[in-house]
């Protein structure tokens, strides 16, 4: 397929990927409504205003109906997908081109969803695993073999090795970096609030700390040393409050969170749980592994870790990110996977030749 045709096809797929990026994390069906709609006025976009890239440019990034601004993300996703598809047409052999386009599409969606929501939906990872296994069976050349059986074995080895490695990294990371502390020079106000039946938050100096962002395991807990605190009208001083997902434990009592009608006080120290890596990353690397095999997985994890560390250190040094801020790992896995798909074998050969020269 020519580069131009691949680019045009990529813009069309990119337009669909924009639909996935917007709808999947919000729980909106990909089928109904069938046509794209404006996020602001919900007006269905007619076909003549829905040409990838061109429509956004001609309408100057605005809805043709309500004239509200349309995010540049739509233009970025369509252009990026088109460039990736065109690059794949140049760098990837024809028998495996379709397979590479599939994983590239999955990576584009997971990257932008992870950047915005800090999640990787299971639907994407599970679809990726199923697609990777099926395409390995149909086009074993994806794993540099002519045997469908060998290709499926290599595909499974990539999925399992990737998932096991990242799961172990996640567990060790939890032990080493599974908590962060909030301190202040003098006691500051804090309070507990129920937002929804499944969502609570603690405010410390008006900064929110949500349950959904901190509780992932039964063992997770938030510890606050209160200089003074009022719990349902009872006043306490110099006491530790240990919040679990469903209850509060102190040296005086244990109370279910649903039974707390009022809790506020002052604190200079709080400790919060955090995950070194989400299970979404573990499932994503399993999907990637079905396409790249165990060799590609080793490269992808190493390269993604290097990229994530480098960008994280740079962002902290430039003051763009706090040390305790969440960093989505999915985008780095995606970048590393693209490097492997396009230049992995070349890089490995270069590395091996360099070792022989030593």
**pTM for this model (two decimals):** 0.84
- Map out the domains of the chain as residue ranges: 1-91, 95-177+280-358, 179-273
Q: Name the DSSP class of 147.
A: -
User: How many Cα neighbours within 13 Å face the side chain of 6?
Assistant: 19
Q: At what angle do helices 148-177 and 122-138 cross, to 10 degrees?
A: 150
Tens digit of pLDDT at every position of the chain (358 positions):
689 999 999 999 999 999 999 999 999 999 888 888 888 888 888 888 889 999 999 988 898 889 889 899 999 999 999 999 999 999 999 899 999 999 999 999 999 999 999 899 999 999 999 999 999 999 999 999 999 999 999 999 999 999 999 999 999 988 888 889 999 999 999 999 999 888 999 999 999 999 988 998 899 999 999 999 999 999 999 999 999 999 999 999 999 999 999 999 999 999 999 887 888 999 999 999 999 999 999 999 999 999 999 988 888 788 776 655 678 999 999 999 999 999 988 888 887 787 777 7
Signed CA dihedral, 33, 39, 45, 51: sign only: negative
């Amino acid at each position: 397929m020519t580069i131009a045709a691949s680019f045009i096809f990529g813009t069309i797929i990119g337009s669909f990927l924009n639909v996935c990026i917007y709808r999947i994390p919000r729980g909106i069906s990909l089928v109904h409504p069938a046509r794209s709609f404006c996020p602001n006025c919900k007006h269905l976009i007619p076909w003549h205003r829905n040409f990838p890239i061109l429509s956004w440019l001609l309408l100057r990034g605005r809805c043709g109906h309500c004239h509200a601004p349309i995010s540049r993300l739509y233009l970025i996703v369509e252009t990026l997908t088109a460039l990736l598809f065109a690059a794949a047409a140049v760098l990837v052999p024809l028998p495996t081109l379709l397979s590479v386009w599939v994983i590239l599409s999955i990576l584009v969606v997971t990257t932008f969803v992870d950047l915005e929501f800090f999640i990787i939906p299971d639907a994407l990872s599970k679809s990726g695993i199923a697609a990777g296994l099926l395409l390995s069976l149909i086009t074993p050349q994806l794993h540099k073999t002519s045997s469908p059986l060998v290709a499926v074995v290599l595909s499974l080895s990539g999925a399992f090795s990737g998932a096991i490695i990242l799961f172990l990294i996640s567990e060790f990371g939890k032990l080493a970096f599974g908590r962060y502390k909030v301190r202040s020079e003098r006691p500051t106000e804090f309070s507990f609030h129920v937002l929804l039946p499944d969502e609570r938050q603690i405010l410390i100096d008006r900064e929110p700390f949500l349950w959904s962002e901190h509780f992932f395991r039964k063992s997770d807990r938030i510890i606050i040393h209160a200089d003074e605190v009022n719990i349902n009208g009872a006043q306490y001083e110099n006491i530790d409050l240990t919040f679990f997902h469903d209850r509060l434990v102190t040296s005086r009592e244990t109370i279910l969170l649903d039974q707390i009608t009022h809790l506020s006080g002052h604190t200079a120290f709080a400790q919060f749980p955090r995950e070194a890596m989400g299970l979404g990353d573990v499932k994503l690397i399993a999907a990637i592994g079905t396409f790249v095999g165990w060799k590609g997985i080793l490269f992808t994890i190493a390269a993604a870790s290097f990229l994530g560390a480098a960008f994280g250190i740079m962002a902290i040094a430039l003051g763009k990110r706090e040390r305790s801020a969440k960093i989505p790992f999915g985008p780095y896995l995606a970048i590393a996977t693209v490097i492997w798909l396009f230049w992995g074998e070349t890089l490995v050969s270069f590395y091996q030749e360099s070792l022989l020269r030593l």
